[in-house]
Amino acid sequence: MVHRRMPRPSELAPLLRPAPLTLDRTAAKLARATSIGDLRLLARKRAPRAVFDYTDGAAEDEVSLRRAREVWASVEFSPTVLRDVSRVDTGREILGGPSALPFVLAPTGFTRMMHTEGERAVAAVAAQAGIPYTLSTMGSTTIEGVAEAGRGGRHWFQLYLWRDRSVARELVSRAAAAGYDTLLLTVDTPVGGNRRRDTRNGLSIPPSLSLRTFLDGARHPRWWFDLLTTEPLTFESLAAGGGTPFEVINRVFDPALTLDDVTWLRENWPGKLVIKGIQSVTDARRVVDAGADAVLLSNHGGRQLDRAPVPAELIEPVVQELGDDAEVLVDTGIMHGGDVVAAVALGARAALVGRAYLYGLMAGGQAGVQRAVEILRAEVERTMQLLGVTHIKDLRPEHIRLRSAIRAPAHPDGGRAAGAPGR
């Protein structure tokens, strides 16, 4: 028998605690986001289809991106228990400087297209979080503007080389003068990848008011209002002209890039030099012998050569080959702090994340980027605690193993590794 009675007012009081009322709907939605996958869903609603797909998509059939996601999702952690994990240290030295977390915010092109606050917002968040931010040659904010917005933080610059080397000399000189400490040379883009979503959406840079974009803009009036009432959306580091992303890349970048250019940069850049886009042990050794301080294992987020090697699977053999000669970084498909922990356990010095913070930027500007970093930070800390590890430097290969992804497993970002489009 259940004996019922009327509750006392004193018993109801602790239950009647409504959530604080906020008139900022964006802030409320960001606060409810518990994963990068949640931010991705918000971004999809707030940004025009062509803009979202430019960020979310990859090349050809998007196999490279899908495989990268599957491998990170296949990680199996091996925890140790009965350890005092009341405090964890997530900081480490990356390329001669401090970072509060074992990840770096990666270079992304035309970032103000995702949200008008663009690179300045990302740089400000990175400086506050104590992690490096990398400005792209294809960025929509100047080298000096990013340095000002992220004052007090670490700034890296990503460089594409094109036919006119004098432009590269100028950019390298400006980055050094503005206090950038690391240069990333991207080498996996001799020609542009075939990004079918961009073609289907009719994406142009800068965005144009075609009938398609006009109709889509009617569903995203805030984005178009920001675009039309703020400073013009352009490439700030190069005069690339307009057109599709594929056309811009093929018109500007130099397909004759060779190892001699790595040597040339080493002679002209005073800071740390990273070669981005390494996809084999042999190439890793070649560029380090030519003077690189680090290699970034990357297939460009799946946006260049489809069915390229999965960067996560290259970490261990490249680390074994290079030893103490150079640091190893990795990107592509990283959507969870557990992915970052796994990368470090495999031997990477740090991971670079791109799409993860761009989803936050599209979802809510600088506040959205901040939320993305908060989510990743919490996931890194929690994964370390559950592994029984208190210092990043103590992560080892024995803490994880990569399992074959026979089926497309669920990714911890809340989406599906194989089915969900995006990085």
Catalytic residue among 115, 300, 399, 411, which? 300
| Ordered DSSP codes for 251-311 | HHB-TT--HHHHHHHHHH--SEEEEEEE-SHHHHHHHHHTT-SEEEE--GGGTSSTTPPPH
- DSSP reduced 3-state for 133: strand
> To which residue do tokens 């986001």 refer?
33
Please tell me what DSSP assigns to residue 393.
G
Can 300 be counted among the known catalytic residues? yes
| Measured distance CA(297)–CA(119) in Å, rounded | 23
> To which residue do tokens 């604080």 refer?
20
CB-based contacts of 195, cutoff 8 Å, min separation 6: 54, 57, 58, 59, 245, 246, 303
> To which residue do tokens 């990840």 refer?
103
Give the start-end residues of each E strand in 364-423: 400-402
| Measured distance CA(22)–CA(114) in Å, rounded | 25
Which residues form the catalytic set?
A: 300
